[in-house]
């Protein structure tokens, strides 16, 4: 029986490369309804880094705080009352309080998603946060119809690429915002219908030149700040925009131009996966899992694997995860 493990924690909010530390801790024991998993791989997601910086309002850190909301692992021990899981079973591990950046993690059994064989560990490690967000935002909340335009920022991100591929499959069109001209050809080759460069003119003017003077009815944005503000201006008078991140940490200004608040019915609302997942019924959760598996197997929703780091290399990993032009998702591999 292993009694000690490596885990990453931080004692105060700050820049991840400075405050994150790898420590030796006791292996946790599962309580009623919990499962201990041995972590195989865990991604470095933007939400993890926002949490470390203190910008992630959905989860409050209790110092010293553990990190890592997503990953893939195998069942190591079952707490009392847990059924339908077996030792060694591979699972997608959603850790709502953080803690997957470790060799072992304890989570509620209901936060585990059993996955079929044949899907690589890197895909299972990123099974929920991006795929579930894409499906819930695009198919459920916005329910973008065939033939309509969806506007998205951060289009070159892993989630943005999933949206482009899903759009081609489901028959709607995408206008994709990037910061660098070099990204245009790559996203067009992926299936993007239109790509605009935010540094080459006002976003709203470029969008209306692409889709028509009425603007877009659907938009998703993880950037906010000036990008989000201009996206709001690009909305159709009945447009709806979901904000699912805050990469700039700056506000969207929706009231500075009366033309956009004194006419029409433009809606801006927050999407947080941590709010929606617990509100799904058991049947809805099963359907979401089945949709993710099917779309992942056909290559529509998949994560591009990037560099892999050990837990001791956490400083290098978090810097690499935020490098401009980085190729693929950065992963921590506890056994590396």
Considering only CA atoms, which of 146, 182, 186 is closest in space to residue 166? Answer: 146
Instruction: Render each residue's pLDDT in the chain as its tens digit; 336 residues.
Output: 678 999 999 999 999 999 999 999 999 999 999 999 999 999 999 889 989 998 876 778 899 999 999 999 999 999 999 988 999 999 999 998 899 999 999 999 988 988 888 899 999 999 999 999 999 999 999 999 999 999 999 999 999 999 999 999 999 999 999 998 988 999 999 999 999 999 999 999 999 999 999 999 999 999 999 999 999 999 999 999 999 987 777 887 876 666 666 677 889 999 999 889 889 998 998 999 999 999 999 999 989 888 999 999 999 999 999 887 677 899 999 987
Q: How many Cα atoms occupy the beta-carbon half-sphere of 133 within 13 Å?
A: 24
Strand-pair category, 173-178 with 149-152: parallel
Considering the domain 4-126+303-332 in this protein, what is its CATH number?
3.90.180.10
Q: How far apart are CA 37 and CA 30, in angstroms?
A: 9
- In whole angstroms, what is the distance from residue 42 CA to residue 17 CA? 17
Domain boundaries, the chain: 4-126+303-332, 130-274
Residue of 278, 168, 162 whose CA lies nearest to 220: 162
Provide the whole-model pTM: 0.89
Could you count the other beta carbons within 10 Å of the beta carbon of residue 188? Answer: 14
pLDDT at 141: 96
In terms of DSSP bridges, do strands 34-43 and 112-114 run parallel, antiparallel, or are they unpaired?
unpaired
Closest CA to 82 of 42, 40, 112, 38: 112
3 state DSSP class of 76 = strand
Q: What is the pLDDT of residue 260?
A: 65
Please tell me the distance from the alpha carbon of residue 233 to that of residue 226, in angstroms, as a whole number: 11
Contact 301, 165 (CB under 8 A): yes
What would the CATH number be for the domain defined by 130-274?
A: 3.40.50.720
Q: SS3 breakdown of the chain: % helix, strand, coil, rounded to 5? A: 35, 25, 40
Query: For residue 123, which of 6, 298, 311, 273 has the smallest C-alpha distance?
Result: 298
Burial 31-46 (b: 16+ CB within 10 A, else e): eeebbbbbbbbbbbbb
The answer to whether residues 67 and 51 touch, using CB atoms and an 8 Å cutoff, is yes
């Amino acid at each position: 029986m292993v009694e000690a493990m490596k885990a990453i924690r931080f004692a105060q909010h700050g820049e991840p490369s400075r405050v994150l530390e790898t420590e030796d801790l006791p292996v946790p024991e599962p309580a009623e309804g919990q499962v201990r998993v041995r972590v195989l791989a865990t991604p470095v997601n933007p939400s993890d880094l926002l949490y470390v910086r203190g910008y992630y309002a959905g989860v409050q850190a209790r110092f010293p705080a553990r990190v890592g909301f997503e990953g893939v692992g195998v069942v190591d021990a079952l707490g009392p009352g847990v059924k339908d899981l077996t030792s060694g079973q591979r699972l997608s591990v959603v850790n709502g309080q953080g803690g997957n950046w470790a060799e072992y993690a304890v989570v509620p059994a209901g936060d585990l998603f059993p996955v079929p064989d044949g899907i690589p560990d890197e895909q299972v490690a990123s099974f929920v946060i991006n795929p579930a967000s894409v499906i819930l935002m695009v198919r459920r909340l916005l329910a973008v119809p065939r033939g309509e335009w969806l506007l998205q920022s951060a289009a070159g991100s892993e989630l943005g690429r999933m949206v482009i591929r899903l759009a081609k499959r489901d028959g709607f069109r995408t206008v994709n915002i990037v910061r660098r001209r070099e990204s245009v050809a790559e996203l067009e080759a992926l299936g993007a219908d239109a790509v605009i460069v935010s540094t080459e003119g006002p976003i709203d003017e470029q969008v209306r030149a692409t889709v028509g003077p009425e603007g877009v009815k659907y938009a998703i944005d993880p950037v906010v700040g000036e990008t989000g503000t201009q996206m709001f201006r690009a909305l159709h008078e009945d447009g709806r925009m979901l904000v699912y991140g805050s990469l700039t940490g700056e506000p969207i200004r929706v009231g500075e131009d009366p033309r956009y608040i004194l006419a029409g019915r433009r809606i801006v609302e927050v999407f947080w996966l941590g709010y929606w997942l617990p509100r799904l019924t058991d049947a809805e959760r099963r359907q979401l899992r089945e949709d993710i598996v099917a779309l992942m197997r056909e290559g529509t929703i998949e994560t591009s694997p990037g560099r892999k780091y050990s837990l001791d290399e956490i400083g290098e990993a978090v810097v690499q995860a935020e490098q401009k032009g980085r190729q693929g998702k950065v992963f921590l591999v506890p056994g590396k």
